[in-house]
Amino acid sequence: MKSKIVDLLLITHDSMLKPGWTKRFKFNPDTGFGNAASTQGSRLVNHDGTFNVIRKGLPFSERVNLYHDLIRMPWWLFNTIVIAGFILINCAFTIAYMLIGIEQLQGIVHTQAQDIWFEVFTFSCQTFSTVGYGRINPLGNMAGGVAAFEALAGTILAALLTGLVFARFARPRAKLAYSNVALIAPYKEINALMFRIANARDNQLVECEISLMFSFIETETGMRRYMNLELERNRITGLPLSWTVVHPITEQSPLFELSETELIQLQGEFVFTFKAFDDTYSQVVYTRHSYHAEELVWGAKFIPMFNPSDSHEATELKMDKINAYEVVAININ
């Protein structure tokens, strides 16, 4: 139902876009994205900052990069894979010991099948981790050979896992909190596009820079166009509190006199790139995010998210209010 209403509005307002309205603006040809709208999806950048691109046509060996995937995946998935892998590997070695025969393992005390299985499984875990408590030990040549190979495999995998965990911890990465929506809000005597960001960690981000790009599909040519938008300020010394990024909608802005319906018709998307120096890693960190035209709230302004503490000796930054806004009347051009 909602899509039908939107389609009806787009048809109704189709004539509101003035022919050639983009000719007075300078396009950005160096974005890395293509210009033909028919060859791209509806969104350029995902909410997590990754490019909205699905690669196909590569052989499986080139498409999958296990090290790269293990470095970038979320911690919960990484821990799940590590635990599941540990269990599966030891189950495989347990099966190997059971096929060889438990008579080649000295120190088995249980007689029930399930208890024997668990006892051999714990022996495999001890061997794989090179702990070796010593109550159970291999007697036969085959069991000894499997145990030796398992100890070698455990040592190698432990070294690889140590390197992966270190690389994940040492990887510099900005963790910004973004407002869920961008606003069209009153700004001085005009309106402005606004969104809000804040540092979600206690580390210090300094020399912060941000750039904002407006992407849309030109109705006359069907080409996707890109424009860099001027910001009230695109650089701040540090980010101890929140930063409301503001693009004033002046007569020089491509958003000037565009209505909400027209912006949706153009399939507008606002992509911003954030760069800062992280003094914890002593490296420059980057992150990206985007807002689609349908994610804009017209006629609203952000509610302040920081205030003095009760003792007035510090400033409280209320991260749960990063999306808080109130409805206001916007200025009429």
Question: pLDDT, tens digit, for every residue of 159-207?
Answer: 999 999 988 887 777 678 889 999 999 998 899 999 999 988 888 889 9
Question: pLDDT, tens digit, for every residue of 253-306?
Answer: 888 878 888 888 888 899 999 999 988 778 888 888 899 999 899 999 999 998
**Mean pLDDT of all residues belonging to the chain:** 83
Specify the pLDDT at position 14: 42
Find out whether 104 and 142 touch, Cβ atoms under 8 Å: yes
Q: Looking at residues 121-142, what average pLDDT do you find?
A: 87
Question: Which is more confident, 188 or 331?
Answer: 188
Specify the pLDDT at position 13: 39
Specify the pLDDT at position 7: 40
The CA distances from residue 52 to 55, 268, 296, in Å, are 10, 15, 20
Q: Looking at residues 81-95, what average pLDDT do you find?
A: 94
Name the token pair of 164: 């992966």
Residue 208, pLDDT > 80, answer yes
Q: Looking at residues 122-142, what average pLDDT do you find?
A: 86
Residue 224, pLDDT > 60, answer yes
**Rounded Cα distance, 168 and 174, in Å:** 13
Specify the pLDDT at position 63: 67
Question: pLDDT, tens digit, for every residue of 1-60?
Answer: 333 333 433 333 343 556 556 666 666 666 666 666 556 666 777 767 676 677 676 676
Q: What is the dihedral of CA 88, 89, 91, 96, to 10 degrees?
A: 150
Phi, psi of 208 (to 5 degrees): -85, 135
Please, which pLDDT band fits residue 81 given cuts at 50, 70 and 90? Answer: very high
Specify the pLDDT at position 50: 73
Find out whether 244 and 236 touch, Cβ atoms under 8 Å: no
pTM: 0.69
Any residues with CB less than 8 A from the CB of 234 and at least 6 apart, and which?
209, 210, 211, 212
In the chain, the DSSP E strands lie at: 105-106, 137-138, 176-178, 182-187, 190-199, 205-217, 224-228, 235-238, 242-249, 269-278, 283-292, 296-298, 300-302, 306-308, 315-317, 325-327
Q: Looking at residues 210-238, what average pLDDT do you find?
A: 88
Any residues with CB less than 8 A from the CB of 92 and at least 6 apart, and which?
none
Separation of CA 119 from chain center: 43
Q: Cβ of 274: how many Cβ atoms within 10 Å? A: 22
Domains of the chain: 2-54+173-327 (2.60.40.1400), 66-170 (1.10.287.70)
Specify the pLDDT at position 303: 92
Any residues with CB less than 8 A from the CB of 304 and at least 6 apart, and which?
none
Specify the pLDDT at position 202: 82
247 has which bridge partners? 193
